[in-house]
Amino acid sequence: MTDEKPLIELERKIEGGDFQSAGDVSSELKRILQQIGFPPSFSRRVVIAAYEAEMNVVIHAWRGVFRAWIFPRYVHIEVDDEGPGIPDLELAFQEGYSTAPPHIREMGFGAGYGLSNMKKCSDRLEIDTRVGEGTKVTMDFFVRDV
Amino acid sequence: MAVRIQDLVQPLEATVLVPGDMGREIHGGYCGDLLSDCIANAVEGSVWVTVQSHPNIIAVAVLVGIPCVVIVNNYDVDEQTLARAQNEGITVLRTPLSAFEAVSRLASLGIPGKKRRES
Ligand SMILES: Nc1ncnc2c1ncn2[C@@H]1O[C@H](COP(=O)(O)OP(=O)(O)OP(=O)(O)O)[C@@H](O)[C@H]1O
Ligand SMILES: [Mg+2]
């Protein structure tokens, strides 16, 4: 991150298994980005990645914290969870790989595309994970001039 | 000629579960039940045809900018899904048709199956 002061900082809790409010944090972020007036294609990239990170906490972890720092031309997101961690990151990034149980797949989650969506949508993605402890996802997004 | 949400009801033999903004124009269509695929590929302003009916589809619709969700095969829809759609102003239609038949009828209205291009 830069030393610049963010326009907005957002911090929200995410509960594992709470499908009721799943997606709320990303929706709130979308509204904020739209209000600030970011280009729609930029907001969309940020929001897709935020949603996938948020849902991974809901589906795979126990609880987590979502933090976003919004700068005029740059967004930084950190999603830090307490959960099982990811034993094999390379495998987890493979499209189609998922450990989601059947009842979660029935809901249309667990296609195994979340991490690759996050990678495609962000300009920088870092995952720090410890098995049995948790996972921290850090992402950066830069407004590109068109 | 622009297709509006209200124009979809009759061809789909649909029940309007949540009206939302029936005057909204529909610019494309997306059909599928995997949420990660929808969020990655569906285009803003599309109608979404799916078997899914749990509340998270509304979160996905909001994020993508989908104004109308069509639930096929007359599946039951959770109360929370309807409440959430109401809050967000998203139309929810339920049709007895299969996904295939629903898409075929939407296509004959001239709705294109757009796929998102990476920006
Ligand atoms: N926060 C997390 N904590 C623990 N495991 C995770 C976490 N995020 C991802 N994983 C592991 O990585 C796998 C792949 O994640 P990815 O998001 O790509 O797919 P998915 O969540 O299974 O399905 P989808 O995102 O398409 O609904 C998961 O199935 C899970 O095993
Ligand atoms: Mg996922």
CA B32 – CA A118 distance, rounded (Å) = 20
Q: What is the pLDDT of residue A20?
A: 84
Q: b or e along B24-41 (b: 16 or more beta carbons within 10 Å of the residue's beta carbon)? A: bebbbbbbbbbbbebbbb
Distance between B98 CA and the closest CA of chain A, angstroms: 18
First-to-last C-alpha distance (Å) of chain B: 27
pTM listed for this prediction: 0.91
Q: Which of A40, A55, A107 has the CB atom closest to B52's CB atom?
A: A107
Q: Quick check: A108 contacting B, CB < 8 Å?
A: yes
Percentage of residues in chain B having pLDDT higher than 90: 92
Of B51, B108, B109, B104, nearest in space to B75 by CA:
B51
Q: Which domains does chain B have, with CATH numbers?
A: 3-108 (3.40.1390.20)
What is the distance in A from the centroid of ligand 2 to the CA of A143? 25
Using the atom order of ligand 1, give the atom closest to the CA of residue A117. Answer: 18
CA A78 – CA A25 distance, rounded (Å) = 13
In this model, does residue A146 exceed pLDDT 70?
Answer: no
Would you place residue A2 in the very low, low, confident or very high pLDDT band (cuts 50, 70, 90)? low
Task: From chain B, pick out residues whose CB is under 8 angstroms from the CB of A47.
Answer: 63
Fold of A15-142: Heat Shock Protein 90 (3.30.565)
Q: What is the pLDDT of residue B119?
A: 39
Q: Rounded mean pLDDT of B40-49? A: 95
Q: Rounded mean pLDDT of A19-46? A: 93
pLDDT, averaged across chain B: 94
Ligand found nearest the CA of B37: 1
Task: From chain B, pick out residues whose CB is under 8 angstroms from the CB of A44.
Answer: 44, 119
**Angle of the A24-36 helix axis to the A40-60 helix axis, nearest 10:** 160
Q: Which of B33, B55, B63 has the CB atom closest to A47's CB atom?
A: B63
Summarised one tens digit per residue, pLDDT across range B56-101 is 999 999 999 999 999 999 999 999 999 999 999 999 999 999 999 9
Domain residue ranges of chain A, discontinuous segments joined by +: 15-142
Transcribe A79-100 into DSSP letters.
EEEES---S-HHHHHSTT----
In this model, does residue B32 exceed pLDDT 90?
Answer: yes
What is the distance in A from the centroid of ligand 1 to the CA of A110? 7
What is the distance in A from the centroid of ligand 2 to the CA of B48? 20
What is the distance in A from the centroid of ligand 1 to the CA of B105? 36
Distance between A1 CA and the closest CA of chain B, angstroms: 24
Q: What is the pLDDT of residue B80?
A: 93
C-alpha distances in angstroms, B64 versus A13, A73, B6, B58, B96? 23, 22, 21, 10, 25
Would you place residue A98 in the very low, low, confident or very high pLDDT band (cuts 50, 70, 90)? very high
Q: How many CA atoms lie within 13 A of A10 on its CB side?
A: 22
- Give the pocket of ligand 1 (CB within 6 Å): A 52, 56-57, 59-61, 81, 83-86, 92, 97-100, 109-115, 135; B 36
Q: What is the pLDDT of residue B117?
A: 62
CA A28 from centroid of its chain's CA atoms: 13
Q: What is the dihedral of CA B63, B20, B17, A48, to 10 degrees?
A: 0
CA A75 – CA A143 distance, rounded (Å) = 9
